[in-house]
Amino acid sequence: MKINYPTSWYEQYEIARSDDGLKKALEHSAFEELLAGFACHGDSLDIGTATGRYMRVATELGFTAFGIDNSIHAVSATREYISHLGIPTERVQLMDGADMDFENERFRLVTCMMSTISHSYDYFAI
C-alpha cells in the first residue's frame, strides 16, 4: 500500500509529544534493550524507515544501517536526518517492503517498526 504523507508529517513524526510519542519512546527503549546482548555488526535494514529513526539507532549500536520506504517524502526526510550524522544518504532507497531488491541473507538485522507492516496488504510478502 502506498502511503503519501506530506513532508511536514515527517517533521511532526520525529517530535511527537502525544500518546504516539510515548509509544515511540517505549518501542525505542525496548529495541535497545532487546539488542543489548546481540552482536551488533554487519548490515541492517529498516523497512518503512519513515525518518530513519531505527537506522540511526542501528548505526549507534554498530550496524551498517540501510533503510527503505515507499514514500519519496520519507526517503527525503530520512536522508536529511542521517546526513547530519555522516551516514551516507544513498543507504536510503525508495522501495516497497513487499518487493525488495536485495540478495538473500544480506542483512543481519531487519526491522519493521511502529506497525509498518500493517500498511501492507500482503503481510506474508514481507
Tally of domains in the chain: 1
CB 77 within 8 A of CB 88: no
Asked whether residue 2 is domain-assigned, the answer is no
Regions of the chain where pLDDT drops below 70: 1-21, 114-126
Asked whether residue 108 is domain-assigned, the answer is yes
Asked whether residue 1 is domain-assigned, the answer is no
pTM of the full structure: 0.75
CB 53 within 8 A of CB 28: yes
Facing residues of 66 across strands?
Answer: 45
Q: Which CATH number fits the domain that encloses residue 11?
A: 3.40.50.150
Asked whether residue 44 is domain-assigned, the answer is yes
Which structural domain range is residue 119 located in? 7-125
- pLDDT number for residue 37: 82
Facing residues of 47 across strands?
Answer: 68
